[in-house]
Amino acid sequence: MNFITTYCHISEDHCAVNGEVLLTNESENSWIRTLYDHFKIDYSKFHKMDLMSKIGVIGSEILKSQNGKIVDYDDDEIALVFANKNSSANTDVKFQQSFKENGSPSPALFVYTLPNIVLGEIAIKNKWYGENIFVVSENFDPEFYENYCNILIPSKAMACACGWVNVLNDSIEAFFFFVEKEASTEDSLPLTSNNLLNLRKA
Amino acid sequence: MEELKKNLKEQIIERLNLEDVQPADINDNDPLFGGDLALDSIDALELIVLFENYYGLKITDPEKGKKVFESINTMADYISKNN
């Protein structure tokens, strides 16, 4: 049995950690800048990322801030298990506009026209070089996460950083959770499809 | 010259999608590559496109590009001398 040891949600108007709303989008600064400053992310490459990668990096920082054990894992012990519905469509549209409106395609946008780029950004930022997978599926599928994490832990990874990160028309729907072999936090819950469904709605 | 530098900062922020960066965050002498902006080879392509689109200038020699795109000051200087 594996355990969900911490989780968080990010939307375009609020950020919740372990079910408690931590921040709401009320500042005059951009929402992403507010999150970046709040979680004290000091990473210059962040500013060049597309929205989905920024959300992914913020999500990984929140998980680390809530579970001190995460930083103790070796580089190749944390796997990344991610999914969403709309792939990289948010950036694909902007890339298309870049050559329709400006007359030339934007290389800086082009590099984000694949959904799994978010995994690369998270891996580089955190030095998490374990297994990784990004699945595009119609709906949030708790069984996918449950089955895949149970396959990976402990033969291929000691823990999984998981996420549902959907960004479309700059609307954000993100749910991140960390899965480990042991219940390392007080709020840990068994990794089951039902628990994932309930936490996602929390 | 100051107007040109201001425009360059705004154009760089727009072309490189640096949505959370303000023009005031970029100092005229700061290195664009290897500095706080952490620009890379992909961004160098963007700067080349920016030069062509906005100023009609083509940079084809990589060695020249390194010097021209060193900072806002070097970019503004090159534009003012070649435009």
Could you tell me which residue, A28 or A101, shows the higher pLDDT? A101
Distance CA A180, CA A25 (A): 31
CB-nearest to A47 from B21, B49, B52 is B21
Best of A38, A94, A106, A170 to substitute, by most chain B Cβ atoms within 10 angstroms, is: A106
Distance CA A140, CA A56 (A): 16
CB-nearest to A108 from B16, B20, B21 is B16
What the block records as the tokens of A70 is 């995460």
Mind telling me how many Å the CA of B30 is from chain A's nearest CA? 14
List beta partners, residue A176: A8, A163
Whether A108 sits inside 8 A of B49 (CB atoms) is: no
The tens digit of pLDDT for each residue in A46-81 reads 988 999 999 999 999 999 999 999 999 999 999 999
Q: Region B3-18: what's the mean pLDDT?
A: 91
User: Which residues have CB under 8 Å from A38's CB, separation 6+?
Assistant: A22, A23
Contact A14, A25 (CB under 8 A): yes
Q: Region A21-27: what's the mean pLDDT?
A: 91
Mind telling me how many Å the CA of A162 is from chain B's nearest CA? 26
> How far, CA to CA in Å, does A110 sit from each of A142, A166, B18, B20, B43?
31, 18, 15, 19, 11
Q: Which residue of A has its CA nearest to B54?
A: A102
Q: Which residue of B has its CA nearest to A111?
A: B42
Q: Which CATH superfamily is domain A3-201 in?
A: Thiolase/Chalcone synthase (3.40.47.10)
Mean pLDDT, chain A, rounded, equals 94
Enumerate the domain spans of chain A.
Answer: 3-201
Residue A192: what pLDDT?
98
pLDDT at A170 over 90: no
Asked, as a colleague might, if the bond just before A107 is cis with ω within 30 of 0, I would say no
Q: Region B25-40: what's the mean pLDDT?
A: 88
pLDDT at A202 over 80: no
Confidence of residue A28 (pLDDT cuts 50, 70, 90): confident
What the block records as the tokens of A193 is 């499809």
A57 touches chain B (CB under 8 A): no
The predicted model scores a pTM of: 0.89
Residue B40: what pLDDT?
87
Strand, helix or coil at A199?
Answer: helix
Q: Which residue of A has its CA nearest to B17?
A: A48
Best of A29, A47, A98 to substitute, by most chain B Cβ atoms within 10 angstroms, is: A47
